[in-house]
């Protein structure tokens, strides 16, 4: 049985794009915790945060993670999934966790090129470039300690997928 693969990292690192391509390459199913949450609640992340606060959203995020976890599935998680220690522990125990690591300036440029304001409210209320520096400073250590593997996500999605497949092959061989 093939373990689930969890993609973690900051907003804009490519979890959904890479996740879909990786799932296709491996013949796995694909799931996105934010999408699942939006489909089951029929609300955007911004609407949930507005109604329930970040704490309510984070509780729903944990439930979504558990709901979408299945063998042979690539799971794109929300950028803050690692903020709850139970989520990190759950992912590490259930499957393999891959941190898609990118510099704050790269993430900010991607988010500015493809804005999704209706999906994810700002965490700090500050300009996106400033916010990404702040978010990465706060979360990088959590991403690192949660991940089984760290992948450079500052390259094209196809190269990221190729690097993940190579890394998984090497891990199986050892």
Q: What is the pLDDT of residues 151-171, one digit of tens each?
A: 999 999 999 999 999 999 988
What percent of the chain is helix, strand and coil (3-state, nearest 5)?
A: 60, 15, 30
Its CATH architecture, for the domain 5-173, is 3-Layer(aba) Sandwich (3.40)
9 is in an annotated binding site: no
Closest CA to 78 of 92, 96, 59, 93: 59
Using pLDDT thresholds of 50, 70 and 90, give the confidence band for residue 117. Answer: very low
44 is in an annotated binding site: no
Question: In sequence order, which residues have a C-beta less than 8 Å from that of residue 52 and are 6 or more positions away?
Answer: 60
32 is in an annotated binding site: yes
DSSP per-residue letters across 35-56: HHHHHHHTS-HHHHHHHHHHHH
17 is in an annotated binding site: yes
62 is in an annotated binding site: no
Q: What is the pLDDT of residues 45-95, one digit of tens each?
A: 888 989 999 899 999 999 999 999 999 999 999 988 999 999 999 999 999
In the chain, what are the domain boundaries? 5-173
């Amino acid at each position: 049985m093939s373990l689930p693969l969890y993609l973690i990292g900051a907003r804009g690192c490519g979890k959904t794009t890479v996740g879909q391509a990786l799932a296709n390459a491996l013949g796995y199913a694909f799931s996105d915790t934010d999408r699942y949450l939006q489909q089951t609640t029929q609300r955007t992340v911004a609407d949930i945060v507005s109604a329930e606060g970040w704490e309510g959203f984070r509780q729903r995020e944990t439930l979504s993670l558990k709901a979408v976890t299945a063998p042979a599935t690539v799971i794109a998680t929300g950028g803050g999934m690692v903020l709850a220690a139970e989520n990190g522990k759950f992912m590490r125990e259930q499957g393999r966790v891959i941190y898609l690591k990118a510099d704050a300036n790269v993430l900010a440029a991607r988010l500015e090129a493809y804005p999704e304001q209706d999906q994810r409210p700002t965490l700090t209320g500050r300009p996106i470039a400033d916010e990404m520096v702040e978010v990465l400073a706060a979360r990088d250590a959590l991403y690192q300690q949660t991940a089984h593997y760290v992948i450079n996500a500052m390259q094209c999605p196809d190269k990221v997928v190729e690097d993940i497949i190579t890394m998984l092959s090497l891990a199986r061989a050892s």
